[in-house]
């Protein structure tokens, strides 16, 4: 099973519903919207399924279907991996 972990060397602050992440070694900033922020908050050495279930708790099921939530989380995790803000670990 794979888990996801935030990389070292990052500072993150939530400001008005968005999360600002600063790479301390480069000073480069990333801004996550409210959904990205929710996903970021749930990357605590969780598996994808655990992260997805945690995110679902905060989203009204009458406004977004499960498939869309899963697609959004998958896309955000992919982006965070691509930008090297998180890493996958096999356990």
Question: The whole model's pTM is what?
Answer: 0.86
**What is the average pLDDT across 55-71?**
91
Q: Which residues pair with 23 in a beta bridge?
A: 10
Give residue-wise pLDDT tens across range 6-30: 999 999 999 998 999 999 999 999 9
The pLDDT assigned to 44 comes to 86
Of residues 31, 29, 35, 1, the one with CA closest to residue 19: 31
Give residue-wise pLDDT tens across range 24-48: 999 999 999 988 999 999 998 889 9
């Amino acid at each position: 099973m794979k888990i996801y972990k935030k990389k070292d060397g990052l500072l993150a602050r939530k400001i008005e519903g968005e999360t600002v992440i600063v790479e301390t070694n480069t000073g480069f900033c990333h801004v996550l919207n409210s959904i990205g922020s929710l996903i970021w908050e749930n990357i605590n050495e969780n598996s994808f399924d655990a992260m997805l279930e945690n995110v679902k708790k905060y989203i009204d099921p009458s406004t977004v279907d499960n498939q869309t939530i899963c697609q959004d989380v998958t896309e955000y995790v992919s982006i965070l991996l691509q930008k090297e803000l998180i890493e996958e670990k096999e356990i």
